[in-house]
A and B are shown apart, each in its own frame.
Chain A
Amino acid sequence: DVKVTQSSRYLVKRTGEKVFLECVQDMDHENMFWYRQDPGLGLRLIYFSYDVKMKEKGDIPEGYSVSREKKERFSLILESASTNQTSMYLCASSLVGAGDEQYFGPGTRLTVT
């Protein structure tokens, strides 16, 4: 079974803090994704990566950056957290492409106060 794990289920940070969200997958997948999910807005893609050190912006990259130094790990970074970044953050991976089956982690609920 593919396993995608995220470093925290719940996180509370203060405005202006730098925040790191970590995601690890154990199935040697090429592609990894970061989404945020807000009520009424569904899942929105922040960034994705199709190879180590490669990244592409999704729909809402502003205020975020990512890092993929190793194939199995994809990090989402909030350089200076703001209250409008309070959300559920979901990481996913897929073997081949974006339309391929994506495996999701359990999510990190981030609250910025």
Chain B
Amino acid sequence: LAKTTQPISMDSYEGQEVNITCSHNNIATNDYITWYQQFPSQGPRFIIQGYKTKVTNEVASLFIPADRKSSTLSLPRVSLSDTAVYYCLVGDRKGLMIKAAGNKLTFGGGTRVLVKP
């Protein structure tokens, strides 16, 4: 599975838009891009998933350029409760790939987003 690179941390203010970019240069044809949110003392929670172009749900938008080597999670009008760590994960949605030898799955360090009043 493709490795990902994200900024370690970002600060923002309430009401602003936060954009977090994840690099995944080795993304494979069958890979999807998934973002998770984690609050302290909790397990990560799925936010959004996409394959190409733009995906939007009630929480966030995900922008994926044509070459798919990066993706940007956009959180509109953040509030204090959006303070969390955000992880980008790239992987095959189907079960076959995880059985392959040497196929590793890693979330990486994530991006710590601090929303200030």
Do A and B make up one complex?
A: yes
Q: How far apart sit A50 and B105, CA to CA, in the bound complex (Å)?
A: 13
Q: How far is the CB of B66 from chain A (nearest CB, A)?
A: 20
Q: How far is the CB of A59 from chain B (nearest CB, A)?
A: 5
User: A residues within 8 A CB of B31?
Assistant: 99
Report whether B106 and A59 are in contact in the complex, using a CB–CB cutoff of 8 Å.
yes
Report whether A99 and B93 are in contact in the complex, using a CB–CB cutoff of 8 Å.
yes
Q: How far is the CB of A36 from chain B (nearest CB, A)?
A: 11
Task: Decide yes or no whether A90 CB sits under 8 A from chain B.
Answer: yes
* Closest residue of A by beta carbon distance from B100: A56
User: B residues within 8 A CB of A74?
Assistant: none
Q: Which one of B14-22, B42-50, B54-62 contacts A?
A: B42-50
Report whether A43 and B46 are in contact in the complex, using a CB–CB cutoff of 8 Å.
no
Q: How far is the CB of B91 from chain A (nearest CB, A)?
A: 3
Contacts across chains A and B counted by CB atoms under 8 Å: 87
Task: Decide yes or no whether A45 CB sits under 8 A from chain B.
Answer: yes
Given contacts A41-B109, A98-B91, contact A106 B96 (CB under 8 A): no
Number of interface residues of B (CB under 8 A): 32
Number of interface residues of A (CB under 8 A): 30
Report whether B42 and A31 are in contact in the complex, using a CB–CB cutoff of 8 Å.
no
Near A by CB (< 8 A), chain B positions 83-99 give 87, 89-99
Report whether A97 and B96 are in contact in the complex, using a CB–CB cutoff of 8 Å.
yes
Q: How far apart sit A41 and B42, CA to CA, in the bound complex (Å)?
A: 16
A-B contact pairs, 25 of them (CB 8 A): A31-B95, A42-B87, A43-B107, A45-B106, A48-B98, A50-B95, A50-B98, A59-B106, A90-B43, A92-B43, A92-B44, A96-B93, A97-B96, A98-B1, A98-B98, A98-B103, A99-B31, A99-B34, A99-B90, A99-B93, A99-B94, A100-B94, A102-B46, A107-B42, A107-B43
